Amino acid sequence: MIDIKFLRENPEVVKQNIKNKFQDQKLVLVDEVIEFDKKSRAAKQEADDLRNQRNVLSKQIGALMAQGKKEEAEEVKNKVREFGDRLTKLEEDEVVLQEEVKKRMMVIPNIIDPSVPIGKDDSENVEIEKFGEPVVPDFEIPYHTDIMEALDGIEMDPAGRVAGNGFYYLKGDIARLHSACLSYARDFMIGRGFTYYIPPYMIRSSVVTGVMSFAEMENMMYKIEGEDLYLIGTSEHSMIGKFIDQLVPENTLPQTLTSYSPCFRKEKGAHGIEERGVYRIHQFEKQEMIVVCKPEESKEWYNKLWKNTVDYFRSLDIPVRTLECCSGDLADLKVKSCDVEAWSPRQKKYFEVGSCSNLGDAQARRLRIRVQAEDGSKYLPHTLNNTCVAPPRMLIAFLENNLNADGSVNIPKALQPYMGGMTKIEKK
């Protein structure tokens, strides 16, 4: 959510930003916000004036009564009552008008960074840099669930009977590999100075609407029936949510957090051949990075965060690249975002394994998070998040890039301590 003052003073900038995100249907919201905001401020001003007048008249009543002028005092009392009735109406109007303003402000997209390329959808995202040399072996690489089944590491049909499509059982060495990737990611991030968290896996609606747009919420979140609780789609939701309504001391910034959680997603509208297996699923686990920092430091942290993911994957000998997300591919709260994609030797192309985002002060404004500066002033911090690793999707890249011709899978040195010293997973 952008600053209402900025919208008042720069309506054309906000409109151009909406056009850059190819959401022209929202252009009318800018003028509506300005109109409702104008009426709201007028109602507030009139109410303030009436309160001042009422205070003056109230003092007159006491003076008139002291002078024995009861009739005049009664006349003034009647006027005070009239002011009270009008005040009640103005206060009600102000609440309604502010709600109309907020409803529209919540869906007007955040102002994107000038460096973001203009494009309609993810097909127009721009490659930034490649890390590692993509290799296609001289033997055929099976589909990832076929690799796992050959290693006796996955059961899809029983999961379908238990929970339906989009679920899975991991077992044996593959389940252990899954946990090893997460444990290694935890220690990797701790080694880079991040504080490790395990957060709540459910959050209230006030947090949901604070951390994401309504469109994302509808497509992602599972609601707990009969409760004001949602299952998290990523631990970023809980971790940013923990600062709701807080005044954060400036000397505690930046706050650099890394959190593990299961994640639950509807994946509404997901389809296609590469969404078989464990590519798009309703339940997975993830190691996340979250930063709360001063506004002037967020660009620097943005670059640090996506580089952490690149370094993690490269430490496992997986080639990756970074893609700058274009304007039309940015969620409404995001100022800037890039995807980290891993190389798939089977598909001979890259696919997404993580996403890094700078949300500016949008989440802080929605969640009413402020920073107490040393000089006594208060301001909104910037928030950022990034995926370190999210198996089992990451396992697709891992298995394909470490597969041998005989069907066995090599374990890189970085993971061997988490696999009990194993150097290879053998075909069963």
Give the span between the Cα atoms of 289 and 239, in whole angstroms: 9
Domains in the chain, number = 2
Looking at the structure, tell me whether residues 259 and 327 fall in a common domain: yes
Using CA atoms in the order 327, 329, 334, 335, what is the torsion angle rounded to 10 degrees? -20
Q: Do 253 and 229 meet the contact criterion of CB atoms below 8 Å apart?
A: no
pTM of the model: 0.89
CATH number at residue 77: 1.10.287.40
- In order along its 428 residues, the chain shows pLDDT tens digits of 899 999 999 999 999 999 999 999 999 999 999 999 999 999 999 888 888 877 777 777 767 676 777 777 767 777 777 777 888 888 899 999 999 999 999 999 999 999 999 999 999 999 999 999 999 999 999 999 999 999 999 999 999 899 988 899 999 999 999 999 999 999 999 999 999 999 999 999 999 999 987 777 777 899 999 999 999 999 999 999 999 999 999 999 999 999 999 999 987 655 443 456 787 888 999 999 999 999 999 999 999 999 999 999 999 999 999 999 999 999 999 999 999 999 999 999 999 999 999 999 999 999 999 999 999 999 999 999 999 999 888 999 999 999 999 999 999 999 999 999 999 999 87
Q: What is the pLDDT of residue 272?
A: 42
Residue 115 lies in a domain: no
Nearest to 381 by CA among 395, 364, 394, 398: 364
pLDDT in tens, 257-282: 999 999 999 876 554 434 567 878 88
The token pair at 306 is: 């996506």
Looking at the structure, tell me whether residues 231 and 349 fall in a common domain: yes
Report the amino acid identity of residue 6: F
Residue 110 lies in a domain: no
Looking at the structure, tell me whether residues 91 and 126 fall in a common domain: no
Q: Do 157 and 174 meet the contact criterion of CB atoms below 8 Å apart?
A: no
Q: What is the pLDDT of residue 411?
A: 97
Q: What is the pLDDT of residue 268?
A: 61
Looking at the structure, tell me whether residues 140 and 174 fall in a common domain: yes
Looking at the structure, tell me whether residues 101 and 244 fall in a common domain: no
CA neighbours within 13 Å on the CB side: how many for 427? 10
Query: What SS3 class is residue 395?
Result: helix
Residue 19 lies in a domain: yes
Q: At what angle do helices 27-66 and 11-20 cross, to 10 degrees?
A: 150
Looking at the structure, tell me whether residues 195 and 58 fall in a common domain: no
The continuous run of DSSP H or E covering 86 comes out as helix 70-105
The token pair at 175 is: 């389940």
Looking at the structure, tell me whether residues 329 and 296 fall in a common domain: yes
Domain that holds residue 97: 4-105
pLDDT in tens, 8-38: 999 999 999 999 999 999 999 999 999 999 9
Q: Do 142 and 150 meet the contact criterion of CB atoms below 8 Å apart?
A: yes
Give the span between the Cα atoms of 239 and 217, in whole angstroms: 17
Q: What is the pLDDT of residue 271?
A: 46
